[in-house]
Amino acid sequence: MSNVPPKSNASNAHKPRTTKAKTTVVSPQRVSEVVDAAKVTAADVTPAPEVRTVLPGQEGVVRNAAGEIETTTGSTPIVSVVFDTGEIIIAELDGEGATTSLSPEERAAYVAAFADSGQPADADAALEVAPAGPSRRDMLKGEPFAHPEPVNMLTPDRILEFKAKRERPSPGWNSFIYGITFHLVNLGDSPAVRHQKAVDASISRRLDGGTRFIPVLTRKGGVGKTTVTTMIGMALARTRDDRVIAIDANPDRGTLAERFIRNTDKTVRDLVTKASAVNSFSEFSAFVTRDKSRLDVLASDTDPFLSEAFDQNDYNVVADMVSRYYSVALTDCGTGIVHSVMTATLQRADSLVIVSGGSFDEARLAAETLTWLEGNGYADLVRNSIVALNTATQGTNLVKIDEIEAHFQSRVRDIVRIPYDPMLATGSVIDFDRLLPATQDAARTLAALVIEGLPAR
């Protein structure tokens, strides 16, 4: 065994070899012939999926391979092989009856290497041996074998030629080329269109297991929390086939309904008062405003003295009714993070959207919101939350916005920048179709990230 390096212990013999194999094929050799090689027992054997039994005369099938000693699922190792510089070394098993659990093929390979004569030392080893099958690696690569190929190698992927047919391009330049060439030139969708379709697919993901509640919150007012709720809701409702609702749960008179052209003056207080009489979706619909994007909006009380009475129990009544008819429910929260309504909101939350402005104090308060949530048992929600960074707030141009992002990136799942948009700046009715393209993209990206992060039920 001139090509086998000396081994100081058996564990060295188990390590994969990286030496380039020789072109010549050498017959099986015993590990025990290697200088200072220890006996190999079941305790010394380590799994190696790429290594398989090699029969006498079949060495060329696995020549140039590299591997280490392998074992079966039982305690007794199978006939093991080590490929070293082109030579195949069969490890000698220690202990009497070590070959009793071997298959006929394994026993034949073992006896071929360790029998003192040409006759098998074990009567069972005289069984007729079938040719060794291809290795898993060979099957994956489809490499030729030195023995007949098994039928399972004849797969449709290997035999048939599939030509993917492109769908007709979406309206645009590529669609124009498709038309003037009489459908002979199909460039497919542009990268921008493909991205848009991918975002739509994320937003449209099917949600099983009941209504998903997504609070939108922060501890500071005036950073665009209600605007972000509106944008997410519109982006979801325009794309999804199921129902989406936005609930104004601000106990101090919220302004969510002012972002829409209202078709009812009903509020959450009216719904709570008449909850026992609502037994169908059509009856529930009388209490909501429906936007042209198909988003339903449940307004808060306009009277601040009445709205202050909206508490944890009231929210639970509303949420229970919403759970009957909607797949996604956004909650526009107030700034009072310790209010009882917030407790009920967070208990139902499946994900969170934290809104931060671009100034120092706005970002600091948003970060403190995360800290409060982490310290009150909502650390998992924080890690899965999305931060909407409103760069249209005053003072954004005076700070290092990248540093604010870096801080939030270390604490939440993702961040989306909301750019300045004249329509959003008015604080009034929002028409999604009239938002700037960059604003629409931000809203759709935010909606997609929210849906992607919702846990399965």
**CATH of residue 219:** 3.40.50.300
Q: Are 349 and 442 in the same domain? A: yes
Whether residue 319 is contained in a domain is answered as yes
pLDDT digits (tens, 9 = 90+) for 286-302: 999 999 999 999 998 87
pLDDT at position 437 over 80: yes
What is the rounded average pLDDT of the residues 342-352? 95
- SS3 string, 60-82, reads HHCCCCCCCCCCCCCCCCCCCEE
Q: Are 125 and 233 in the same domain? A: no
Q: What is the pTM of this model?
A: 0.63
Total domain count, the chain? 2
Q: How many CA atoms lie within 13 A of 167 on its CB side?
A: 7
Q: Are 152 and 210 in the same domain? A: no
Whether residue 257 is contained in a domain is answered as yes
Residue type, 431: D
Q: Are 155 and 80 in the same domain? A: yes
Whether residue 165 is contained in a domain is answered as no
Residue type, 136: R
User: Where is the domain boundary, 160, 188, 217?
Assistant: 160
Query: Are 450 and 232 within 8 A, CB to CB?
Result: yes
3-state secondary structure of 154: coil
How high is the pLDDT of residue 353? 97
Q: CA gyration radius for the chain?
A: 34
Q: Are 292 and 350 in the same domain? A: yes
Structural domain boundaries enclosing 44? 1-160
Whether residue 190 is contained in a domain is answered as no
pLDDT digits (tens, 9 = 90+) for 306-335: 655 678 999 999 999 999 999 999 999 988
Whether residue 70 is contained in a domain is answered as yes
Residue 338 — very low, low, confident or very high, per pLDDT cuts 50/70/90? confident
Mean pLDDT of the chain: 74
Residue type, 387: V
pLDDT at position 341 over 60: yes
pLDDT at position 440 over 50: yes
Q: What is the DSSP letter of 376?
A: T
Whether residue 251 is contained in a domain is answered as yes
pLDDT at position 114 over 70: no
Q: Are 246 and 346 in the same domain? A: yes
How high is the pLDDT of residue 45? 38
How high is the pLDDT of residue 195? 83
How high is the pLDDT of residue 52? 44
First to last CA, the chain: 61
Q: How many CA atoms lie within 13 A of 59 on its CB side?
A: 22
Q: Are 129 and 262 in the same domain? A: no
How high is the pLDDT of residue 299? 93
What is the rounded average pLDDT of the residues 46-59? 40
pLDDT at position 139 over 90: no
* % of the chain residues with pLDDT over 90: 44
pLDDT at position 148 over 80: no
Place of tokens 């917030």: 342
Q: Are 100 and 227 in the same domain? A: no
Q: What is the DSSP letter of 93?
A: B
pLDDT at position 28 over 50: no
Q: Are 110 and 239 in the same domain? A: no
pLDDT at position 340 over 70: yes
Of 118-132, 244-258, 331-345, 421-435, the least confident: 118-132
How high is the pLDDT of residue 381? 95
Q: DSSP letters of 380-406?
A: HHHHT-EEEEETTSTTGGGS-HHHHHH
Residue 194 — very low, low, confident or very high, per pLDDT cuts 50/70/90? confident
Strand 289-290 vs strand 296-298: parallel, antiparallel, or unpaired? antiparallel
How high is the pLDDT of residue 102? 53
Rounded Cα distance between 423 and 430, Å, is 7
What is the rounded average pLDDT of the residues 396-419? 92
